[in-house]
Amino acid sequence: MVGFSMQPYGIQSMLKEGHRHLSGLDEAVIKNIDACKQLAIITRTSLGPNGMNKMVINHLDKLFVTNDAATIVNELEVQHPAAKLLVLAGKAQQEEIGDGANLTVSFAGELLQNAEELIRMGLHPSEIIVGYTKAINKIIEVLEEMVEKGSENMNARDKDEVITRMRSSVASKQFGQEEKLCSLIAEACIQVCPKNPANFNVDNVRVAKLLGGGLNNSLVVRGLVLKSDAVGTIKRMENAKVAVFVGGVDTTATETKGTVLIHSANQLENYAKTEEARVEELIKAVADSGAKVVVSGAAVGEMALHFCERYKLMVLKISSKFELRRFCRTTGAVALLKLSQPNPDDLGYVDSVSVEEIGGARVTIVKNEQGGNSVSTVVLRGSTDSILDDLERAIDDGVNSYKAMCRDSRTVPGAAATEIELAKRLKEFSLKETGLDQYAIAKFAESFEMIPKTLAENAGLNAIEIISSLYAEHASGNTKVGIDLEEGACKDVSTMNIWDLYITKFFALKYAADAACTVLRVDQIIMAKPAGGPRPPAQGAMDED
Amino acid sequence: MSLKVLNPNAEVLNKSHALHMNINAAKGLQDVLKSNLGPKGTIKMLVGGAGDIKLTKDGNTLLKEMQIQSPTAIMIARTAVAQDETSGDGTTSTVIFIGELMKQSERYIDEGMHPRVLVDGFEIAKRATLQFLEKFKTPVVMGAEPDKEILKMVARTALRTKLYEALADQLTDIVVNAVLCIRKPEEHIDLFMVEIMHMRHKFDVDTRLVEGLVLDHGSRHPDMKRRAENCYILTCNVSLEYEKSEVNAGFFYSNAEQREAMVAAERRSVDERVQKIIDLKNKVCPDDNSNFVVINQKGIDPPSLDILARAGIIALRRAKRRNMERLVLACGGEAVNSVDDLTPDCLGWAGVVYEHVLGEEKYTFVENVKNPNSCTILIKGPNDHTIAQIKDAVRDGLRAVKNTIEDEAVVLGAGAFEVAARQYLVNEVKKTVKGRAQLGVEAFADALLVVPKILAENSGLDTQDVIIDLTGEHEKGNVVGLNLQTGEPIDPQMEGIFDNYIVKRQLINSGPVIASQLLLVDEVIRAGRNMRKPT
């Protein structure tokens, strides 16, 4: 019998079986950094317009082909706790801005890699944290100075201005197709832009993916595209009023269970008749109110449908509650709970509702041109599902950038010009510091080189050459010189017209620095035994979302 | 061995074995928590069974999350949890102090001293230290208008040990204002009246104090206003939905008209209740300048929501019970349980009510209230572990402020008290004790020094130098603490480093008790069914 007199000394003996405990510089800090580095290596090759795609198959066997870092790290289901911190930073960026997740993860990875070198040089992590914190504060100052003059005023309805700001974000996802995509996104966004652009709602730009055709067949519809057929035989209606019923178009029912009490055959016949008369009365009331289209949120009864046909009403069924709300927003209708005669105010209006067949699928296109600045839909065409998914992500990023630029329209030079300038300024700053943290600040500056380096590497250019010539240009005062990836040379970004949003950069760099500092602050990890049993797949998906 | 005769399956440890097991466990736990102490302590990362991450510096959280198995360690951990429950802070210090007491005792016991004598010494020293604490504490007069500065200093001292400096300083103002907001003269402070709400949004430094309330749900009807000003608020606990009867009921009808009538009848009572609320609204809001908000603890079904929306009323359903209480304190008015006799007196008032949507989550802010007696600390942070960390810290900060107000006293921090108490024990108390118990007093006095020692160690300073500097100053009669940046002695009063009185008192009370218990154990027996693998 192993007596407990043999218990070893130390923490390991006090924890339950299966616990793991890592502590100290070598065991915890360096290992954490290593894990983060591995993650950054994965995302880095996807950075920029020439970034490579990744094929990710998640636990539900769904295939993703994308270079969107947010999707990649999401579907990877990172287990290592330290790397998870980076993923969380990327996610926060995705939620806050909707773009720049790759920058966050890759940059945080680079910061940590450089921190490792400092630790090996003999610096204590707390000194590195102090240095990094000073550096990020300085960066925010410099970034503010880098803002392109005149960019703080933007006309949110001017397509060219919007496209300028959006292009770099979309191009990093779909290089080569950004012109077409940007104009689609800009058109859709501008249509739904409210009076005060700051109140822009991302949800108002919808994407309908239809298999077949190509990107050039894509178009923007003012209104909604429903992926379903009309219920009845009437498939087309123009300049019509719309009545929306949430509770379905059918006979009314009580909450308590009802039973029909019938004493004789006569009554049975009469009952069916009263029922019929009642439904007809209701449908007639709807038709009398002037409505031509009836939209139901739940089931449409057979009998009700029959009368709708008779009164020449077009019937649509939208079972999703959110879709129904969007429909109400598009048409300006007020959703009624029960089938009853609608007030004239409650009716909405559509220019046209028509069922069309696109690429083998029947879709209902609801158009509302008049004053309808509520919902617009981008109809995407593409040859495979994964291409469509990837295009959709590019559009999401574009729409999110539009939202970000409505909040803060300032821009900074793109194509790595900002990064090199920040690196240069930060290096100058580090020389003025006296403490040990100056090494950390210098390393922070060095980390910025990762971005032009990666951009150049991904484009197959000679990174070292590019970086040195960039530095040379910036040293001579040309602060807006960036990389022209197509020609492989350094050029002024104002001639190439590549601008990044200030706010995206700001949040990405701040989140990255925060995540890196958090990883460095940890010196001990105590891991519980992983919960036993196979994980229910549904739960995993919920966590990641 | 006698026990083996009685129960062959029992395991037993006796005499010095048992003692050493206890001492080792205490020292082991001390080792784990040591690096967390003080503002320069490091963070620990805890990974749960499901892979969830928690980052913490807080001793209490750590002990709770770590699944400890050793029986001695569990005892110590329980003392620390008790410390947290009474005072809200000082868990790490408790564990370290106990560990140090055991370590000091080990030396004497190895030299052949009986634990009982040591324990007697501990008891004398404990009583003397408590008396000394009474003399040493700095009284603070609270009165009607508490001195905000001193509260801030205490809160800052507590928070800086949990979070990094910039954030701690920001939270200091928040927690002090929050406690002052809910404080009513002559009444016990109920910290539950501070709602702590979190949003996963922006950065940790965006955390703020909302004078009013933040509810973590929104209105459920698309046509209700998202933002309203000058709001009358009706807090109620009235069901506004159709409820099935208790008895099993059914309808019999023979034609559609009858059924229609029944459908209408079913809803009538609910509709009447809704109508009463609308009548009240029309009474108090004659024009468009003011708005009406209904916050209901029970449900409101879609037809009722629809009627309310048409009447221009914002309605929130299924509010949490604790929020109902807070809402009344924040906005005024009273919570009503029936709509039968509604009067305008029941209504509360808020300057602005608005909804904030964050992805899928909705939050409703009730702000700009008059004379709030309840408030919300809105914690923001980019991810869950940051939020959890801030949440724990805010809790401790609130407790620290509350303790100060209730104790009406603070104690100089930065290790000043520990050094002074040791001085007192060695110079004054030891001489009055007869016999070997003196050594117990000495062990106790040395153990007190562990706090400044570890503070210095965590800051990368030389422990011996620091202690000699500090005791040197105290010999000269200066009460000084440790400056963690430079390692020089400082005056904690000048720097504004104050600890809670109750934290220190609890620490000195409970530490020696548990240490004595552990020292007096001479046999550890594990009998009964062996849960481990049989060998």
In the prediction, which pLDDT does A253 show? 67
Q: Is the pLDDT of residue A257 over 80?
A: no
Taking only the tens place, the pLDDT of each residue in B357-383 is 776 778 888 888 777 777 888 888 777
Identify the burial level of A139 via C-beta atoms within 10 angstroms of its C-beta, where 0-12 means exposed, 13-18 middle and 19 or more buried: buried
Helix, strand, or coil here: B61?
helix
A199 touches chain B (CB under 8 A): no
What secondary structure, in 3-state letters, does A138-200 show?
A: HHHHHHHHHCCCCCCCCCCCCHHHHHHHHHHHHHCCCCCCHHHHHHHHHHHHHHHCCCCHHHC
- CB contacts of A124 in chain B (<8 Å) are 460
Are A288 and A280 within 8 A, CB to CB? no
A334 touches chain B (CB under 8 A): yes
* CB < 8 Å from A in window 365-424 of B: 382-386
Strand partners, A139: none
A13 touches chain B (CB under 8 A): yes
Cβ contact, residue pair B254, A261, below 8 Å: yes
Query: CA B226: distance to chain centroid?
Result: 34
Choose from A12, A127, A256 for mutation: most chain B CBs within 10 A.
A256
Q: B268 to chain A, minimum CA–CA distance in Å?
A: 13
Cβ contact, residue pair A258, B202, below 8 Å: no
Q: A225 to chain B, minimum CA–CA distance in Å?
A: 21
**Is residue A543 very low, low, confident or very high in pLDDT (cuts 50, 70, 90)?**
very low
| Residue closest to A363 by CA, chosen among A311, A323, A399 | A323
* Strand stretches in B359-497, DSSP E: 361-369, 375-381, 409-412, 481-482, 489-490
What's the rounded Cα separation, in Å, for the pair B277 and B340?
9
Look at the alpha carbons of B55, B57, B63, B67 in this order and tell me if their dihedral is positive or negative: positive
In the prediction, which pLDDT does A537 show? 47
B27 touches chain A (CB under 8 A): yes
Cβ contact, residue pair A278, B256, below 8 Å: yes
What's the rounded Cα separation, in Å, for the pair A497 and A151?
13
Q: Is the pLDDT of residue A254 over 80?
A: no
| pTM of the entire predicted model | 0.77
In the prediction, which pLDDT does B7 show? 65
Taking only the tens place, the pLDDT of each residue in A409-439 is 788 887 778 888 888 888 888 888 787 778 8
Are B101 and B447 within 8 A, CB to CB? yes
Cβ contact, residue pair B49, A529, below 8 Å: yes
In the prediction, which pLDDT does A314 show? 87
Q: Is the pLDDT of residue A4 over 70?
A: no
Q: Which residues of B are catalytic?
A: 58, 91-92, 396
Phi, psi of A462 (to 5 degrees): -80, 105
- Comparing A255 with A295, which gets the higher pLDDT? A295
Helix, strand, or coil here: A289?
coil
Q: How many CB pairs under 8 A join A and B?
A: 187
Q: Return the residue matching tokens 């005024």.
A: B332
Strand order in the sheet with B43-47: A20-23, A522-527, B43-47, B53-56
Interface predicted TM-score (ipTM) of this complex, two decimals: 0.70
Average pLDDT over residues A364-383: 78
- CB contacts of B28 in chain A (<8 Å) are 9-11, 13-14
A327 touches chain B (CB under 8 A): no
Q: Is the pLDDT of residue A388 over 80?
A: yes
Are A217 and A198 within 8 A, CB to CB? no
Choose from A4, A76, A86, A126 for mutation: most chain B CBs within 10 A.
A4
Helix, strand, or coil here: A104?
helix
Identify the burial level of B269 via C-beta atoms within 10 angstroms of its C-beta, where 0-12 means exposed, 13-18 middle and 19 or more buried: exposed
What's the rounded Cα separation, in Å, for the pair B436 and B107?
14
Q: Is the pLDDT of residue A202 over 80?
A: no
**Residues in CB range of B250: below 8 A, 6 or more apart:** A256, A257, A258, A259
DSSP state of B240: B
What's the rounded Cα separation, in Å, for the pair A537 and A59?
7
Mean pLDDT of chain B: 78
Q: A286 to chain B, minimum CA–CA distance in Å?
A: 18
Supply B99's token pair.
């560990």
Helices (DSSP H) in B311-408: which residue ranges? 321-331, 384-407
* Strand stretches in B21-96, DSSP E: 43-47, 53-56
What's the rounded Cα separation, in Å, for the pair A186 and A215?
16
Cβ contact, residue pair B70, A528, below 8 Å: no
Are B428 and B521 within 8 A, CB to CB? no
Q: B527 to chain A, minimum CA–CA distance in Å?
A: 12
| Residue closest to B214 by CA, chosen among B309, B353, B328 | B353
Taking only the tens place, the pLDDT of each residue in A472-515 is 888 887 778 888 777 777 778 777 777 888 888 888 888 888 88
B528 touches chain A (CB under 8 A): no
